[in-house]
Chains A and B, each alone.
Chain A
Amino acid sequence: MYTNLTTDNYLWNKRISRRHFIKFCTTIASLLALPPTMIPRIVHALETAPRLPVLWLSFQNCTGCSESFLRAHTSSVEELIFNQISLDYHHNLQAAAGETAEQILATARETHLGEYVLIVEGSLSLAHPGYSTTAGESEVEIFQRFAQDAKAIIAVGTCASFGGIPYALPNPTGAVSLPELVANKPLINVPGCPPIPVVITSILVHLITFGVFPEMDTLKRPVSFYGETVHKKCSRRQFFNDGLFAETFGDNGAKQGWCLFKLGCKGTLTHNACATIKWNESTSFPIESGHGCLGCAEPNFWDNGRFYRALTAATEPVILPYLGKANAINSTGQFLATATTFAGGIALTNEGETQFQPNLTLRLSRMVAIHGTIKVEPAHIGQAADLVVFAAYRPLFAPANLSPLYFLLDAKDNILPWNRENMIDLVPFRQTTLNAEQEVLMYEGQFIATGSLEVYFGYRLSEGTVVTNSKAIKIMITE
């Protein structure tokens, strides 16, 4: 019943300018952090692939995610549905209703078995089948039927990704996220309340081009959009570094763009691209418009602490435990004398707990920050250097004779395995020109596995000398 017209035909007929189209492909590639060499592949895929069948189902939702999708600028929803996807079911937009709508949905599934992409907005209620129905059928069953035969599933919004507001305590309807219900089927989470629309668009383009989802983190989020915290690129970040904080809404500091940390901003813990892509065609984002980040792209953000309570007492000078004199090793493996010293520690960032400690035992579910400072010896100040962060890891209950595994943090905060024998492989965490007092904000968020960690950080000079703490930050992570 479907002819095989490709996107190419549409582009011709739409008289979309080639330049505009290439620009779109380039934007998408850069958003997905793909190398420029991939652009021709995206262009080719979009020009030759039949439009991707997409079914968008709404369960326990507020339709904010669909509304966000309608605000997409790259590409716009009308460009998308005319050129790149075939939106065969979308309850808020489609002309057909009732039985006809149900027939369309069933037919689309049968026609495109294993080929359609299922987008889901909202959580699912498990407490009672009557809590959420369409056409008299429980939506858990509807989801199961459509998930089974999908090529891939996109969980749009924090409700679908992590449970969201229905899942907030006391979770009156027994709501669960999609990942709770899906095993052995490609699924990507696009959290945010709502998510930034271009993230949805970019994932669809990646899927059309490469047939798979982009690289994901452990929470199944696309790394290119959720790899960094909002804090890292925040427009008010410099004021955080300088210790300048708004004390109340609308005060002089707020007007001057000072950091909103003391007003409860959760940007330091929230992985999302709000500070870089921003909202509504880069018009603004919450922190820019004067309100702290609510943390809406993170699991459990509704229950993770009040929106206006500061995470830690950032107003007090943060005191980091002294970690002693440094180890300095040159490129030939010789130990050198150095006057550089280190301080650093780990803190639980849930409300009220502000103490940075050199040793800590904690549960896997806790939110943490690991910060350090380096008092750089005068001879090194002003030199170009790579900041480095690495850790020795041992699983819980590992035999005593098992050597630790080493991991490092790269510039995108990815955790990568590292062979400690070779210092040259030590990938930089950041590149900088050394200050007398060098701040290293190593890690913010949750850990991904239980076990023990010994955390080291420091810098590598351009001639190869590596200077790190001699006394590690020791962390034990339990279930």
Chain B
Amino acid sequence: MTRLVVDPITRIEGHLRIEAQMDDANKTITAAYSSGTMVRGIEVILRGRDPRDAWAFAQRICGVCTVVHGLASVRAVEDALKYKIPPNAQLIRNLMIGAQYIHDHVMHFYHLHALDWVDVVSALSADPKATSELAQSLSSYPKSSPGYFADMQKKLKTFVESGQLGIFAQGYWGHPAYKLPPEANLMAVSHYLEALTWQREVAKLHAIFGGKNPHPNFLVGGVPCAIDLNSDSALNAKRLAQVQDIIGLMRDFVDQVYLPDTLAIASFYKEWGSQGEGLGNFLTYGDFPTTGLDDPTTFLVPAGVILNRDLSVTYPIDLNAPEQIQEYVTHSWYDYSSGKDQGLHPYQGETQLNYTGPTPPYKQLEVEKEYSWLKSPRWIGPDGKMYAVEVGPLARVLMMYAKGQPQAKELVDSMLSKLNLPISALYSTLGRTAARTLETKMIADLMPTWYDNLIANIKAGDTITFNETLWDPSSWPQRAQGVGYMEAPRGGLAHWIVIENGKIANYQAVVPSTWNAGPRDAQGQAGAYEAALQGQVIEKPEQPIEILRTIHSFDPCIACAVHLTDVKGEEVLKVKVC
């Protein structure tokens, strides 16, 4: 038996450590453990604050998922106060979250995930002319001439020959698990750089509506930007035209680069359609009103739970039901006042830090005891059983597929037929990554609808972006509680808030990466990452690329996932360096 430790898992957000027990005889992982290794305390910091300010604090849970926690937070406050927002505000929020998906998923694919599949060094031996032919056979993307790829290759060559390899240093280049021909590698590396340029342009959508990206501004009761077509100081005709251009940039890149690249790369890695399967249970909260308005019956992604890969049955989910969603801390560095094996619904959620892990520096976690700053959220089914579930793009695509959403069916079936893979291939590392691309395409296609609805509203004379009626805390009930939920790029996200006397009495965020990256629960059931790694064969244990592939297929975001709370007055240690 060998203990594989990968810490830090790089090309993710945050502090993630994976430990895996490997059977040396068949190089197979027999058990894997996922650990978040950093804590800050944002939910505790939120207590006692003005609920209208909460979004700004919550947003700083994560700078990668930059809009999602802000949005979940304002939705939580609005749900608690039964606070309706104007249609324009709903549409602008949709456009902002849609833009976040497209930005985030493309960056995940190229900048966080691609180097698991794409060998940068191999790209140096590509023939630019053949690369051009390959690119043109896949897509009408204009940057595809032999000269373009020759330039890119030259730039890369000079860089590599300098010896100062920077971020590309010592990848697992040349590992036999890399299967792409040099030309496909060169094409993908070129698109890595193109995507860096592209993402700067599309982030401007957030700056137009929210003033900046990262961390654009939100507002309880609406959105902060005012609409006036004739004012230089509001969302005017020029600004709206700019938004339309950005949506065009997004759709072009998704259709001409991201989608064809995903298919092309996947065709060399079909064996990953049966690896990294994971739990087989999936959960969605539902989101993306196709009419633009907040009506769950129009959601592109319906809410529900799928169990044991059975798409014929979906179970409803209720975020307010105390018996349905519970968080466990049996294997987490927290205490509950009712004991460590008890699950708590987020309205009653507690988080008292109690680090019981090995004293740093340490070599190995004590996985039989507590081993993570993440909790273990679980869904309790109608049968009373506790289920570990996976959230994220695969869960959403499966839910749409299960419910017969026509575009999802068409995209999934077409992809599977192009790759000549069975539907079971969706339950895999490859399936997770492909699902992310397919849903990006669907959301990119929905952006113009939201945009057109916004324009139609404005043309009809509606420029309202803010509802002032419940702004003043004196108009609020003495006590209120609510949940703000959404589908964030990494999966179902919800914030639960309890408001008392105009202030936050309790605040709990259960985020996608807590569902996916959390440790074992009170019954010893593994979390989604842990389950997905179990049974994985590691070809070269000193270069565990297989672990990176499967973990990255979830797009971890660990700053999001970590909970936080009261410290019992530990003495602050004073140190000085230098």
Which A positions have Cβ atoms within 8 angstroms of B? 1-3, 5, 9-10, 13-15, 51, 53, 59-68, 70-73, 76-78, 81-82, 85-88, 90-104, 125-141, 143-144, 147-148, 164-166, 168-176, 181-185, 193-194, 235-236, 248-251, 254-257, 274, 279-281, 283-291, 294, 302, 306-308
Contacts and interface: CB of A to CB of B under 8 A. Distances in A.
Instruction: Select the residue from A82, A85, A185 with max chain B CB neighbours within 10 A.
Output: A82
B207 interface: yes
Contacts of B219: 249, 291
B166 A86 contact: yes
A360 B223 CA distance: 40
Contacts of A286: 210-212, 217
Interface SS majority for chain B: loop
Contact of A302 (B45, B168, B224): B45
B207 A289 contact: yes
B268 interface: no
A26 to B, nearest CB: 21
A456 to B, nearest CB: 37
Contacts of B353: 128, 131, 172-173
B441 to A, nearest CB: 23
A180 B158 CA distance: 41
Contacts of B316: none
Given A168-B45, A249-B224, A285-B211, A130 B170 contact: no
B211 A127 contact: no
Contacts of B10: 91-92, 94-98, 101
B56 interface: yes
Contact of B50 (A148, A176, A248, A308): A308
Given A81-B166, A135-B8, A193-B60, 20 more contacts: A5-B161, A5-B163, A9-B158, A13-B158, A51-B162, A62-B13, A92-B10, A95-B172, A96-B172, A128-B355, A141-B360, A171-B45, A172-B566, A173-B567, A181-B577, A194-B63, A283-B207, A289-B208, A290-B234, A294-B56
B577 A280 contact: no
A85 B167 CA distance: 11
A288 B233 contact: yes
15 contacts: A15-B151, A71-B199, A143-B577, A144-B575, A165-B45, A165-B57, A168-B57, A181-B576, A248-B466, A248-B468, A256-B233, A279-B207, A284-B207, A285-B212, A291-B217
A86 B164 contact: yes
Contact of B204 (A81, A99, A250, A283): A283
A136 B361 contact: yes
Contacts of B181: none
B171 A96 contact: yes
Interface string B220-236: 01111111100111100
Interface stretch (B32-40, B377-385, B396-404): B32-40
Contact of A95 (B169, B468, B575): B169
A104 B6 contact: no
A294 B210 CA distance: 13
B141 interface: no
Contacts of B548: 97
Instruction: Select the residue from A2, A194, A251 with max chain B CB neighbours within 10 A.
Output: A194
Contact of B38 (A99, A132, A164): A132
A298 to B, nearest CB: 14
B211 A133 contact: no
A280 B216 CA distance: 11
Given A95-B169, A98-B8, A144-B577, A166 B41 contact: yes
B5 interface: yes
Contacts of A193: 60, 215
B471 interface: yes
Given A13-B154, A91-B8, A170 B200 contact: no
B578 A284 contact: no
Given A182-B578, A279-B211, A285-B211, A173 B166 contact: no
A239 B471 CA distance: 24
Contacts of A287: 211
B79 to A, nearest CB: 20
Interface in B557-578: 559, 564-567, 570, 572-578
Contacts of B216: 289
Contacts of A125: 39-40
Nearest to A93: B167
A449 to B, nearest CB: 23
A98 B545 CA distance: 11
Contacts of B193: 78
B224 A291 contact: yes
A139 B565 CA distance: 20
Interface in B465-494: 465-466, 468, 471
B214 A71 contact: yes
A104 B170 CA distance: 8
B200 A71 contact: yes
Interface of B: 5-15, 17, 37-42, 44-45, 50, 52-53, 56-57, 60-64, 66, 111-112, 115, 120, 151, 154-155, 158-159, 161-164, 166-173, 193, 196-197, 199-200, 203-204, 206-217, 219, 221-228, 231-234, 333, 353, 355, 357-364, 463-466, 468, 471, 543-544, 548, 559, 564-567, 570, 572-578
Instruction: Select the residue from A138, A173, A193 with max chain B CB neighbours within 10 A.
Output: A173
A256 to B, nearest CB: 6
A248 B210 contact: no
Contacts of A147: 577-578
Given A60-B40, A289-B207, A308-B53, A5 B162 contact: yes
A70 B107 CA distance: 11
B363 to A, nearest CB: 6
A280 to B, nearest CB: 4
A67 B222 contact: no
B44 A70 contact: no
A3 B362 CA distance: 36
Contact of B363 (A14, A136, A141): A136
A35 B169 CA distance: 38
Contacts of A140: 575
Contacts of A15: 151
Contacts of A170: 44-45, 566
B567 A172 contact: yes
Instruction: Select the residue from B50, B62, B225 with max chain A CB neighbours within 10 A.
Output: B225
B164 A5 contact: yes
Nearest to B37: A133
Contact of B14 (A63, A81, A143): A63
A66 B214 CA distance: 9
B113 to A, nearest CB: 11
A280 B206 CA distance: 9
A91 to B, nearest CB: 5
A102 B6 CA distance: 10
Contacts of A168: 45, 57
A7 to B, nearest CB: 10
Nearest to B194: A78
A86 B14 CA distance: 22
A137 B360 contact: yes
A101 B170 CA distance: 8
B5 A98 contact: yes
B570 A128 contact: yes
B13 A92 contact: yes
Nearest to A108: B169
Contacts of B37: 132-134
Contact of A126 (B50, B120, B167, B572): B572
A164 B559 CA distance: 15
A133 B360 contact: yes
B155 A82 contact: yes
B66 to A, nearest CB: 6
B53 A307 contact: yes
A248 B52 CA distance: 14
B466 A250 contact: yes
Contact of A184 (B170, B203, B578): B578
A355 to B, nearest CB: 24
A97 B163 contact: no
A30 B426 CA distance: 53
